[in-house]
Amino acid sequence: MTAVIDPTCAIAAVSGADLRVPLVQGGTSTYANFDYAASAPALKQVTDRISQLLPFYASVHRGAGYASRISTECYEASRGSVARFLDADDDQVVVFTRNTTDSLNLLAGCVPGETVVLDIEHHANFLPWTKHGRRVVRAANTVEETIQRVVAELCSKPAALLAVTGASNVTGEVLPLERLATIAHLCGARILVDAAQLAPHRRISLRESGIDYLAFSGHKLYAPFGSGVLVGRRDWLDQGEPYLAGGGAVREVGVTAVEWACAPQRHEAGSPNVLGAAAIAAACDALAAIDPTELVAHERFLADRLRDGLSAIPGVDLVNIWSDSPDCVGIVAFTIADYAPGQVAAYLSAEHAIGLRDGRFCAHPLLTSLGLDAALRASIGLGTTAADVDRLIEAVTTLITNGPTWTYAATDGHWNPTPETRPLTTSSPEGAAPCLIG
C-alpha cells in the first residue's frame, strides 16, 4: 500500500513548532528548524510523560516511599519500552547512559579485543576504541567496495568488534547493517551500531538484523532530558569492568573486596536519571506508534524536495560519501561556492530565522577525505513541513542572487552578524539571572 503523504503538515507534534524568533533586520518570523541531527525538539508525548512523572520524582531503587516506588517502577519499565522499540533479543540488556558517546565509551571498556572502524565515523564511534586496539578502514567511493575493504580487514587477523554508523551524521547515508552483521559474525567478530542518526528515522530490529550492540541518544530521539541508551549482549557487559564505581553497581562491598552487580546495574552507578529514561521510553513508544512506511515516505518526500531544490541553485554542491548508497535518512549536506559555511548559517539564522548546522560535524576524518574544510547540514525531522523546505531553498536562492543584506564577521571561528541586533537572552522571572543564548 502506498503511504498517504501530506507535506503541508508535520508528521508529529514537537515542542517549539510555533516558536517565533527575532530577525536581525527587525521583526520576527516563525523558526524553521533544520538542526534535528544535532538535537531534536521534544515530542509532545515526551513532555506529557515528564509532566505526569515530575510530581512523583524521587530516589530510584533506594526508597520505600510511594513516590520512590513510582519512580523506580517507571525507570525499570522504561527498559521494556526501549527493548520493544528495538525488538531486542532475550539475551540483550538495556543500559541507560548519558548519551551515545557515553554508551560507546562504556562498551569500549568491555570489548575483549581489537575493534575495526570506518574513517567516516562520528568521533564518538572513532575515538573510544583504543584500549585494546583500533583498526581503521578507509571508505571507498562506493558502498560495495567499502564493504569489501571491511571484509579484507576482518579476515586479515581476528577482531572482537566491528563498530559502524547506522546513518552518517554528515550525509545521512545508511549502510546495509544486516549484511555487515552477517560478515562480522562469519569473521568471528560482533557488531556495534552507532544509531544516533538512524534510530529517529528508521525502525531497527536487533533480533532480525543480528546487531549485537546498539547505542543512541535521547536528545536526537525527541527526548532531550539528558539520557542515552546502550543495548547489547549480556556476557561482555557482565564481565567488563564497571563503567563507574559507586552505589547501585554493587551487590556487596567489604573493606578489601567488592562483588559487582550484573548488567545493567553494573554500569549504572549513582542516582539514575529517571526523567531521562522516562523521556526516552515515551519517545520510543510514540515513534513505535507511527506507521514506519508513512514516516519514511514523508521524510523522503521532503528530503528529495530539498535536494532537488538545492541542486538547481548555481554554486550549490551536495555532499555524499558514496555513489551507490542503498538508503539515506533526512540529512542533506551541501556547500555554496564563494561562501564560508559558517557565514551562510549565520545569514540563514539572522535574516530568515532558519537554523541549520555548519562545520565539520565531529567527523574530521570524513570531511578531510571529502576534501572539505567544512560544510552545511540541513536535517529533517518529525516537525518538518514542505513550507520549511521551500523557505530554505528560497533563502539560499536569495543569497546567491542578491547576497546578504547584513554584514557578517568571523570571530574565534564563529560567524555572527555585525552589529547583532537580536536579544540573545530568554525572559526570566524578576530577580533571576537571564539565560544567555549566545
3-state helix, strand, coil in the chain (%, to 5): 35, 20, 45
**Could you give phi then psi for residue 359, rounded to 5 degrees?**
125, -145
Q: Tell me if residue 100 falls in helix, strand or coil.
A: helix
Cα 194 from Cα 119, distance rounded (Å) = 14
What residue type is 124 in one-letter code? A
Task: Reply yes or no on whether 362 is catalytic.
Answer: yes
Comparing CA positions, the residue from 79, 149, 157, 143 lying closest to residue 322 is: 143
Give the residue ranges of DSSP H helices in 133-217.
143-156, 177-186, 206-209
Q: Which residue has the cell 534510530?
A: 199
Within 10 A of 241 (CB to CB), how many other CB atoms are there? 11
Q: Within a 13 Å sphere around the CA of 54, how many CA atoms are in the beta-carbon half?
A: 7
Q: Tell me if residue 160 falls in helix, strand or coil.
A: coil
Comparing CA positions, the residue from 111, 126, 121 lying closest to residue 158 is: 111
- Cell matching residue 46: 515526551
Q: Tell me if residue 410 falls in helix, strand or coil.
A: strand
Q: Please, what's the b/e burial string for 356-394 (b: 16 or more CB within 10 A of its CB; e: otherwise)? A: bbbbbbbbebbbeebebebbbbbbbbbbbbbebbebbbe
CA 23 to chain centroid, in Å, comes to: 29
- Cell matching residue 200: 529517529
Comparing CA positions, the residue from 290, 327, 345, 334 lying closest to residue 10 is: 290
What residue type is 371 in one-letter code? G
- Cell matching residue 357: 548546522
Catalytic residue among 74, 110, 284, 362: 362
Length of the chain: 438
Residue 326 near residue 176 (C-beta atoms within 8 A): yes
Taking the alpha carbons at both ends of the chain, their separation in whole angstroms is 47
Would you name the residues annotated as active-site residues? 362
